[in-house]
Chain A
Amino acid sequence: MRPVVGCTIRGTHMNKLLRIEKLVKHFGHGKKAVTVLNHVDLDIHAGEIVGLAGESGSGKSTLARCIAGLHSYDSGAVYFQDALLPKKFSAVDFCQQAKKLQMIFQDPLSSLNPRLTIGDILLEPLRLNSDLSAEMQEQLAIQWLQRMSLKSSDLSRYPHSFSGGQLQRIGIARALIRQPQLLICDEPISALDVSVQAQIINLLKDLRDELGLTLLFIGHDLAMMRYLCDRVAVMHQGEIVEQGCTTDVLEHPQHAYTRKLVNSSPIFL
Chain B
Amino acid sequence: MSHPALQIEALSVTLPTARGIVHAVRNVNLAIAAGEMLALVGESGCGKSVTAQAIMGLLPDSARTHAHTALFNKQPLLTGKYQKNIAMIFQNPMATFNPVLTIGYQIAEPLRLLHGYSRKDAEHETVRLLERMQIADARQKSLRYAHEFSGGMLQRAAIAMALACKPELLIADEPTTALDVSTQAEVMALLTELRVEKNLSMLFITHDLGLVSHHADRIAVMYAGEIIETASTSSVLDNPAHPYTRALLAALPIRHSNARLAALEGSPPDLRFPPPACAFAERCAKAMPICIQQSPPVVEQHHAARCWLHNTGHTHE
Q: Do A and B bind each other?
A: yes
- Which positions in A face B, CB cutoff 8 Å? 27, 53-58, 61, 106-107, 109-110, 149-151, 153, 156-157, 161-166, 168, 187, 190-199, 201-202, 220-224, 226-227, 260-261, 264-269
Extra 8 A-B pairs, beta carbons < 8 Å, given A56-B183, A151-B270: A56-B152, A56-B180, A107-B151, A150-B267, A164-B174, A193-B248, A198-B261, A266-B213
Distance between B8 CB and nearest chain A CB, rounded to angstroms: 20
User: B85 at interface (Cβ–Cβ under 8 A)?
Assistant: no
Complex interface: stretch among B72-80, B196-204, B251-259: B251-259
Tell me whether A194 and B248 are in contact (CB under 8 A): yes
- Do residues B214 and A195 form an inter-chain contact, with CB atoms below 8 A? no
Decide: A268 and B207 in contact? CB cutoff 8 A.
no
- Cα A151 to Cα B151 with chains together (Å): 30
Note all chain A residues with C-beta closer than 8 A to B210.
Answer: 223, 265-268
* Contact indicator per residue, chain B 207-240, by CB within 8 Å of chain A (1) or not (0): 1111101100000000000000000000000000
Question: What's the Cα separation between A193 and B148 when bound, in Å?
Answer: 29
**Chain A: CB-nearest residue to B41:** A193
A-B complex: 9 closest residue pairs judged by Cβ atoms? A165-B44, A56-B152, A266-B210, A198-B261, A57-B150, A198-B263, A268-B210, A163-B45, A198-B251
Q: By the criterion CB–CB under 8 Å, are B248 and A220 in contact? A: no
B-chain residues with CB within 8 Å of residue A191 when the two chains form the complex: 44, 91, 174, 177, 207
29 A/B residue pairs, CB under 8 Å, sorted by A: A54-B180, A55-B152, A55-B182, A61-B150, A107-B92, A110-B94, A110-B95, A157-B18, A157-B19, A164-B44, A164-B49, A164-B91, A187-B177, A190-B207, A191-B44, A193-B44, A195-B43, A195-B247, A195-B264, A198-B252, A198-B262, A198-B263, A223-B252, A223-B255, A226-B255, A227-B253, A261-B180, A268-B210, A269-B252
Q: Please determine whether B151 and A202 come into contact, CB atoms closer than 8 angstroms.
A: no
Instruction: Find out whether the CB atom of A190 lies under 8 angstroms from the CB atom of B94.
Output: no
Smallest distance from the beta carbon of A164 to chain B beta carbons, Å? 5
Contact A266 B208 (CB under 8 A): yes
Known contacts A163-B49, A266-B181; A192 and B251 CB within 8 A of each other? no
Chain A residue numbers with a CB within 8 Å of B207 are: 190-194, 197
Tell me the B residues contacting A by CB distance below 8 Å.
15, 17-19, 22, 41-46, 49, 91-92, 94-95, 148-153, 174, 177-185, 207-211, 213-214, 247-249, 251-255, 257-258, 260-264, 266-267, 270
Residue from B18, B180, B261, B267 having most chain A Cβ neighbours under 10 A: B180
Write out the residue numbers on chain A whose beta carbons fall within 8 Å of the beta carbon of B184: 220, 264
- The minimal Cβ–Cβ distance linking B221 to chain A, given in whole angstroms, is 10
User: Provided the pairs A61-B151, A202-B260 are in contact, do residues A266 and B185 lie with their beta carbons within 8 angstroms?
Assistant: yes
Q: How far is the CA of A253 from the CA of B123 in the complex (A)?
A: 41
Contact residues in B for A106 (Cβ distance below 8 Å): 151, 178
A262's nearest neighbour on chain B, judged by CB, is B181
- Bound Cα distance A146, B296 (Å): 29
Taking the closest CB of chain B, its distance from the CB of A265, in whole angstroms, is: 5
- Chain B residues near A157 (CB-CB < 8 A): 17-19
CB nearest to A34 among chain B residues = B148
Q: Which single residue of chain B is at the shortest CB-CB distance from A187?
A: B178
Task: Tell whether, in the assembled complex, residue A161 and residue B174 are in contact, meaning their CB atoms are under 8 Å apart.
Answer: no
Are B258 and A227 interface neighbours, CB within 8 A? yes
Known: A61-B151, A151-B270. A55 touches B183 (CB 8 A): yes
Q: Which residues of B contact A260 (CB under 8 A)?
A: 182
A150 cross-chain contacts in B, Cβ below 8 A: 267
**Residues of chain B contacted by A266 (CB below 8 angstroms):** 181, 185, 208, 210-211, 213-214
- The answer to whether A156 touches B19 (Cβ under 8 A) is yes
- Do the beta carbons of A55 and B180 come within 8 Å of each other? yes
A202 to B251, CA, bound (A): 11
B248-A57 in contact (CB<8A): no
Chain B residue numbers with a CB within 8 Å of A202 are 260-261, 263
B94 close to A107 (CB less than 8 A): yes
- Let me know if B181 and A261 touch, CB within 8 A: yes
Q: Give the distance in Å from the alpha carbon of A156 to the alpha carbon of B17 in the complex.
A: 11
CA distance in complex: A267, B174 (Å): 19
Q: Which residue on B lies nearest to A57, using beta carbons?
A: B150
CB distance B183 to A268 under 8 Å? no
Which residues of chain A are within 8 angstroms of B261 by Cβ–Cβ distance?
A: 198, 201-202, 227
Contacts of B180 in A (CB 8 A): 53-56, 58, 220, 261
CA distance A196 to B255 in the complex (A): 19
Complex CA distance for A186 and B208, rounded to whole angstroms: 18
Q: Which of A156, A164, A199 contacts B92 (CB 8 A)?
A: A164
Task: Name which residue of chain A comes closest to B185, CB basis.
Answer: A264
Contacts of A201 in B (CB 8 A): 261
Residues of B within 8 Å of A198, CB to CB, are 251-253, 261-264
Q: How far is the CA of A215 from the CA of B271 in the complex (A)?
A: 34
A224 to B270, alpha carbons, bound, how many Å? 29
Contacts known (A106-B178, A107-B94, A264-B182); A269 close to B267, Cβ less than 8 A: no
A223 to B15, CA, bound (A): 37
